């Protein structure tokens, strides 16, 4: 069983690998799959910014590529240890495959602030809405 502290530590480790030459704001994420596997991601900035990979999206992409579709928690850490939460784009990305009760652990340096995905993104878009538009 992966503890919250271990998951945040994995996000910090991923943060150390970030490539953020334009913003200087390194971010790492660690996504806990239901089976206990941890997938890491870090931000990878591109000069165009539209092609930038966010840490949470990178971790989710690695998990999906490995065949995972069920998740229990995600931890996010920045080099600043400032309690960064997933941005709106990443919240919606996580909502694609994660339930509202996905635990979101944010590194505040000397502790962990916990949210649920539903608290951070109430009323997330869903596949049901797309089906209704067809």
* Integer Cα distance of 113 and 129 in angstroms: 31
> Tens of pLDDT along 2-27?
999 999 999 999 999 999 999 999 99
pLDDT mean over 42-60? 95
Query: What is the pLDDT, as a whole number, of residue 133?
Result: 60
Of the residues 5, 13, 16, 56, only one is catalytic, namely 56
* Integer Cα distance of 74 and 47 in angstroms: 27
pLDDT band at 117 (very low <50, low <70, confident <90, very high): very high
The four Cα atoms 115, 1, 94, 106 give a dihedral, to 10 degrees, of 40
* Integer Cα distance of 10 and 18 in angstroms: 13
- 56 annotated active-site: yes
């Amino acid at each position: 069983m992966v503890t919250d502290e271990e998951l945040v530590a994995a996000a910090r480790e991923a943060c150390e690998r970030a490539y953020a030459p334009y913003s200087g704001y390194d971010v790492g994420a660690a996504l806990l799959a239901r089976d206990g596997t941890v997938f890491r991601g870090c931000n990878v900035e591109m000069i165009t910014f539209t092609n930038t990979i966010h840490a949470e999206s990178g971790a989710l992409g690695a998990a999906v590529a490995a065949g995972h579709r069920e998740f229990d928690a995600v931890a996010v850490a920045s080099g600043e240890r400032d309690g960064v939460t997933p941005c709106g784009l990443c919240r919606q990305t996580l909502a694609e495959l994660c339930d509202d009760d996905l635990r979101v652990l944010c590194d505040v340096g000397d502790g962990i602030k916990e949210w649920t995905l539903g608290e951070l993104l109430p009323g997330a878009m869903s596949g049901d809405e797309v089906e209704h538009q067809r």
